Chains A and B, each alone.
Chain A
Amino acid sequence: MTRLLRMIALILAVALSAGAARAQSADEAFTRLGADSFSDTNRAIELLIAGAHPQAAVIIEALAEGRLLAGGGAVVVKTKDGKLLDARTGAALASEPPGLNPVRLNNGVRRNIQAALGGLGLLNPDTAKRIAAAEAVFKSRDVSLLPVIETAISRETDTRAKAALRQAQAAILIAKTDAPPFDRLAAVDVLRERGDQDALATLRSLPGDASPALKDAQARAVADIEGKLALWRTVQNLWYGLSLGSVLLLAAIGLAITFGVMGVINMAHGEMVMLGAYTTFIVQEVIRARFPGLFDYSLAIALPLAFLVAGLVGIAIERGVIRFLYGRPLETLLATWGISLILQQAVRTAFGPTNREVGAPNFMSGAFELGGLAITWNRLWIIVFAALVFAALLAILKLTPIGLQMRAVTQNRRMASAMGIRTGRVDALTFGLGSGVAGLAGVALSQIDNVSPNLGQSYIIDSFMVVVFGGVGNLWGTLVGALTLGIANKLLEPYAGAVLGKIALLVFIILFIQKRPRGLFALKGRAVEA
């Protein structure tokens, strides 16, 4: 312990008056390292730090990991990839000096190394390293580093690093029973400011002998942080719900269009999503094989292709099968189910039953933090994408002639036909559009889900629920339905568990349908009794 304190004093000495007799102390340090006795090694560490040797960090790290070799008057650092460097200068060695042996360690030396590394980190010129070191101290709450931290705080200019150092100091003070009471109270405040899970754990570790005032402050800080964390958790769940809702929206919106316009439940809709995902897979395979440089654009290339593939398959289904089943929605349901079985099996035969790997481009991977919120880029982009698709569809329905015709057919098919709208063509285009949108959804889902022949199956029932809940003939109904179900699902999950939450939601929808048999945004008028 005395040695440790002495060492810390030395670090301080360095910090305060850099540049004592460096050269000779360095020489002495290397001689002592070469001697390879524990006490000499300890002294050498002190000297290296006191002399602020430029190689000190490298040498001490190597020593900690047993990569510091000494023998025959030479001290050599062996790098992680096996190269030999002269410890004194950091220059690479051409040949291996004879008689090298690793410098031995015992627990005392290891402790010193740790303290030295911690101290070196706190005074490191690199701000990010200083913050990381402060975080490490915050977690370890090593009392012996308190003086170093105080020095570091006094010298610190960067605000973030200063805050991190203050938090580390507070974490130590909380546990230090002989610290001045006022400092400890201030430490509680610092931790409350920090307000995360670690701060909470640190606050809870307050020793039992604390004064009533301190205990009171601690209790209030704990309650404060818990409240804040609970709030963030709810926000996080809302975010997950929004993310799930956007996925549901993507999967369901095409279904809502075909259901709304044609009164047809397309059981093969999930397979259109799957086709979109497999299109992405093929595009990426081609890009990997031929044009590796384009990988970041793979999704942009896959989007129109997926829209085309799924849309064309959709039109083929409409022209080949569904056209003959108009006015018989239940038969259509069965026929499209048959088609979904065929498509699934076709994909299984072509690509195998296992999951296929679809990579994420750079802008989709990784995550960032926003307050207490962890946000992954792929989820964020999918929400943006869902919003774009929704806006585009809304624009198509409201602003284009075909959209006008679609709405007319939705509201009254016979009247629309009497006004000269070619309902058959509108049906085919609607089905193509709905399926194409499903293909787009497939591109997005390939980023967050397994691309397998069963991909569509796992979304189809949820999509139905969204459509049935939201009502048909109105895209806003689908939006509200998808977001409500997504958010409700994620908010229920912490209380009921994933499965039970889902069951509760299904039961809720079954009951909801009793109240509003045509969904939230029901179409009014004669079309209802069609």
Chain B
Amino acid sequence: MITRFLIQGMDKRGLVFLCLIAAIAVLVPLANLLLPPGSLFHVPTSTMSLWGKYLCYALLAISLDLVWGYCGILSLGHGAFFALGGYAMGMYLMRQIGSRGTYGNPILPDFMVFLNWSELPWYWYGFSSFPFAMLMVLAVPGLLAFVFGWFAFRSRVTGVYLSIITQALTYALLLAFFRNDMGFGGNNGLTDFKDILGFNVQAQTTRAALFAMTCIMLIAGFLIARGIVVSKLGKVVIAIRDAESRTRFLGYRVDRFKLFVFTVSACMAGVAGALYVPQVGIINPSEFAPANSIETVIWVAVGGRGTLVGAALGAVVVNYAKTVFTSGFMAPYWLFALGALFVLVTLFMPKGILGTAQDWWSKRRKPEPVATAEPAPAE
């Protein structure tokens, strides 16, 4: 029934997206592993890892679009959930190093030995087990979002105030994780990973598997987000976005709907972070930087908020542009380009690439303008 519901509820755009990601999930790892390096269609491992990173960002963007595009909550702290998921994965990977670290301590990670710690802090217990670590990838960001949202939504903190305190949240976490005595590697973060589930993280096959896994999680994340927004609950969430007070007066418990969406979104961001860490090979406190979270918002804005597919598209497009820009002679101008992107998209393309394209498409098909049934998203 659920499958039928999903297929039925799927529009053409979503189907194209799903098919595309599914195709990438199969073809890219195959092209990497089976084709010889000289072949025209061979995908180098580095390229695959890079695109794996983009797809993690795409999942993060979808999670943000779910709260911003559909619920009107502009979170400037989604990078915090992403980073927390990443740290949970990083802790598992640290424990897998075992005695192969520089100091050869079978239990303590290198940085703890370096700081003269004698035993593992309690919050590191259990991270040697993969299922537990995966649970934490979901639970830690989810719990933080739940507690934070519980307080914020109940007391009706909205609009820019909410944005500012989400930024404060990620900033506080940034400061906290920079501290050495927090037990998360301080400034350097967690790195030097060796194994994941017994496979070498650096190996080509592992990389291919991680890439495929990222695609699968992206599909799953998309389906969950899509499932939420097309459901009856999703209708209420959209109503909250457009007229929060009116929805409340109609008798809906606005805070609970918001809390649900916010928590799901945080879990999704955590998964994105968890997939990001083994592919990039490091997690450090800079992931908590408020600037990162704001950049995530611009991905969504570029692609088109409130479209899910657009968010993923925006993440890939912007990050691809970033890679191209920052690796060439234009590197000093990247920030100009990014800044201009923020300004131009908000001024001239408030609906993003996808929304603008859609408007253009529907205008071509139906020349006479019809009054749009969809109200402009409120803030």
Point out residues on A near B: beta carbons under 8 Å. Answer: 259, 263, 265, 321, 324-325, 327-335, 337-342, 344-346, 348-349, 461, 464-465, 468, 499-500, 502-503, 506-507, 509-511, 513-515, 517-518, 529
Which chain A positions have C-beta within 8 A of B5? none
Once the chains bind, are A331 and B335 in contact (CB under 8 Å)? no
Known: A333-B74, A509-B168, A515-B155. A345 touches B347 (CB 8 A): no
Q: Which residue of B lies closest to A465 (CB)?
A: B168
CB <8 Å contact, B379 and A330:
yes
Taken together as a complex, chains A and B put the C-alpha atoms of A302 and B17 apart, in Å, by: 56
Q: Is the CB of B379 within 8 A of A328?
A: yes
Contact, CB under 8 Å: B160 / A265: yes
Contact present for A517 and B168 (CB under 8 Å): no
A-B contact pairs, 20 of them (CB 8 A): A265-B160, A324-B347, A329-B159, A330-B379, A331-B379, A333-B163, A334-B301, A334-B345, A335-B342, A335-B347, A338-B298, A339-B343, A341-B339, A341-B342, A349-B332, A461-B171, A464-B167, A468-B165, A506-B169, A506-B175
A501's closest neighbor in chain B, by CB? B175
B interface with A by C-beta (< 8 Å): 74, 148, 151-152, 154-161, 163-165, 167-169, 171-172, 175-176, 178-179, 245, 290, 294, 297-298, 301, 332-333, 335-336, 338-343, 345-347, 350, 379
B161, B172, B178: the one within 8 Å of A507 (CB)? B172
Which 4 pairs, one residue from A and one from B, show the smallest C-beta to C-beta distance?
A338-B342, A341-B339, A342-B339, A345-B335
Contact residues in A for B172 (Cβ distance below 8 Å)? 502-503, 506-507, 510
Chain B CB within 10 Å, residue with most, of A334, A345, A500: A334
Determine whether the beta carbon of B175 is less than 8 Å from that of A513.
no
Nearest to B155 among chain A residues (CB) is A514
- A332-B169 Cα distance, complex, nearest whole Å: 21
Chain A residues near B338: list those with CB within 8 A.
338, 341
Is B245 within 8 A of A529, CB to CB? yes
Contacts of B294 in A (CB 8 A): 334, 337
Given contacts A333-B163, A507-B172, contact A514 B343 (CB under 8 A): no
How many angstroms between the C-alpha atoms of A396 and B35 in the bound complex?
73
CB-nearest residue of chain A to B345:
A334
Q: Is A517's CB under 8 angstroms from B343's CB? A: no
Answer whether A514 and B163 are a contact pair too, CB < 8 Å, given A338-B341, A506-B168: no
Which residues from chain B contact A468 at a C-beta distance below 8 Å? 161, 164-165
Tell which of B74, B156, B164, B335 touches A464, judged by Cβ atoms closer than 8 Å. B164
Contact between B74 and A330 (Cβ–Cβ < 8 Å)?
A: yes
Distance (whole angstroms) from the CB of A313 to the closest CB of chain B: 14
Beyond A345-B339, A513-B152, 20 additional contacts (C-beta under 8 Å) are A324-B347, A329-B159, A329-B160, A331-B350, A331-B379, A334-B346, A338-B339, A338-B346, A339-B343, A341-B336, A345-B336, A349-B332, A464-B164, A502-B172, A506-B169, A506-B175, A510-B148, A510-B151, A514-B152, A514-B154
Structural contact, A334 and B379, CB atoms closer than 8 A: no
A507 CA to B175 CA, complexed, in Å:
12
